[in-house]
A and B are shown apart, each in its own frame.
Chain A
Amino acid sequence: MNPYYAGILLGLVLLSAMYFSGRGLGASGGLKYAVVAAVGAIDKTHVQESSYYSQYFVNGESPLKNWLFLEVLGMVLGGFISGAFSGRLKFKIEKSPNISNKTRLLFAFLGGVFFVYGAQLARGCTSGAALSGMAVFSVAGFVTMISIFGSAYMFAWFFRKLWI
């Protein structure tokens, strides 16, 4: 799809979230709730002793019974429908021909660790902090957006072999 049309579509989805639920979109938060729920299921005492985990168990309900977690589940279905619609469903490791599958998967894993750690610190990722924040004039949204992209340009030279 033309990027500007896709942007309009994405903007309308974000506007719907604001109109229906009074909030923006998110992605990293969904991963956080999955981790919190898993740790809660494995080690109850650890969760009760931790000031971080315990805040997600105050009302006695599962951390998965959450707007953001259901939104992330919906994302998987929405992406699948779009991929089916455009004929892009395929198991594949996407990478530059100059690197091995192993290198690609290792850096994909490390990238995930860094990205979501940073997103927890900044209280949102590109979706929840940068995009949704900008749409409500949040200073945090603009600052996070500039930090993410500024930093990615700063580090791009070091990781160029992965991509070009």
Chain B
Amino acid sequence: MGPLSIISSLPEWVNLLIGFIIGIGFGFALEQAGFSSSRKLAGMFYGYDTTVLKVFFTAAIVALVGSQFLSFFGLLDLSLVYVNPYFIGASIVGGVIMGAGFVMGGFCPGTGISALSIGKIDALFFLFGGLVGAFLFAETYPIVEKFAISGFKGPMKVDDWMGVSPGVFTFILIVAAVILFWIAELAEKKFNRPEITSDI
């Protein structure tokens, strides 16, 4: 029965080792997806490469469906898995700031680490900027604290919010993903930039 580290009360060092091993898998998967290339990632916002959408939605659906199967067969207690709490303003404004950073830098933190690991110098600058960003947040926290903790809704779940069962919501998400994949394939044909995609 999972989550193993919680149910079996594994010693802390075992859980940290698991974190390290899962990190190896995470870094490997991101690099294999081609996410170590900023020009490939940026293609998502100009239509010439939509790998980001395909990888992102496929991964979310695999984890969503997989965790529900594990739960159904009594192998995973989903009530013990962390659900991100929702702070309305902070989630939206934080997301908007991140989007601006994404299109300027061409990376997100995970893909930046992936690119650094194969030797991209631009990723090193991105991550150095990221450290500065984390430092600025810590130093400006007293100013933004009130906003950051406002509109707290707890670990709110989207299936509850919509009033549907987890299975129905998963089905809706899969249908939405298939439609998005179809649009993404069309976009890659319409906005294709062979001089960029042959280069990355």
Interface, chain A (partner B; CB < 8 A): 1, 3-4, 6-25, 27-28, 30-32, 34-36, 39, 50-53, 65-68, 70-83, 86, 88-96, 104-105, 107-156, 158-160, 162-164
Contact = CB atoms under 8 A, between A and B. Distances in A.
Nearest to B144: A121
9 contacts: A6-B32, A11-B60, A20-B5, A73-B23, A75-B27, A121-B93, A122-B91, A143-B88, A143-B91
Given A78-B23, A88-B31, 14 more contacts: A7-B62, A15-B62, A19-B4, A20-B3, A28-B134, A32-B137, A74-B24, A94-B115, A114-B97, A116-B130, A118-B98, A127-B26, A127-B108, A140-B156
Contact of A7 (B20, B55, B70, B138): B55
Interface residues of B, number: 129
Contacts of A114: 97-98, 100-101, 104-105, 129, 133
A34 B135 CA distance: 10
B46 interface: yes
Smallest CB-CB A-B distances: 4 pairs: A111-B105, A74-B23, A147-B95, A112-B129
B83 interface: yes
Interface of B: 2-6, 12, 15-34, 36-39, 42-46, 48, 51, 54-64, 66-67, 70, 75-76, 78, 80-88, 90-123, 125-138, 141-142, 144-145, 148, 153, 155-161, 166, 169, 193, 196, 200
Contacts of A82: 27-28, 31-32, 118
B32 A9 contact: yes
Contacts of B91: 122-123, 129, 140, 143-144, 147
